[in-house]
Amino acid sequence: MSTGPGRNIDGLARLIHLPARPLEAWYESIPIGTPGGGWGLGPTDYDWVIVMRFDRSTLTRLTADLPRSTRAARFTADTNRPWFPPDVRAAIVRDGGDLTARGQRFESTLFCEAGIGCDSFIVLEGGEYVLLTFSTT
């Protein structure tokens, strides 16, 4: 039974690199593997969904020199979590089978530690929230 997303920023800092401390954070790991594997996925494989709220000026400073992506800010419906804050839910629109976030995708490993396969993140419309998703395998 899920108890909701993690909210402890110090705990999040043990998972990803935080170049600045967010004002708030929400994060959840979603098991994608099963005991015995299958499709190469085992019981220690997870999708991570992370939302962080920053002061706008801090986030503007952090992203000022990062490459902006030309890829759409799309993600799968599984990533759309029921615990997303209202401002995050408001920035998400259905686009066919996937979802699109209104905002800017950045091609950067700004929040990634070595060995974690996240190569981009989305700053949502309004400039306070970051949506970061990645898988650990």
**How do residues 1-10 score in pLDDT, each as one tens digit?**
457 899 999 9
The strand ranges marked E within 4-82 are: 24-31, 46-53, 74-75
Question: What's this model's pTM, rounded to 2 decimal places?
Answer: 0.87
Distance, CA of 50 to chain centre = 4
Across-strand partners of 46?
Answer: 31, 136
The residue whose two tokens read 């700053």 is 123
36-95 pLDDT per residue, tens: 656 665 666 788 899 999 999 999 999 999 999 888 888 777 788 999 999 999 999 987
Closest CA to 44 of 34, 54, 58, 52: 34
Q: Are 5 and 48 in contact (CB under 8 A)?
A: no
| Structure letter (DSSP) for residue 23 | S
The domain locations on the chain are 9-136
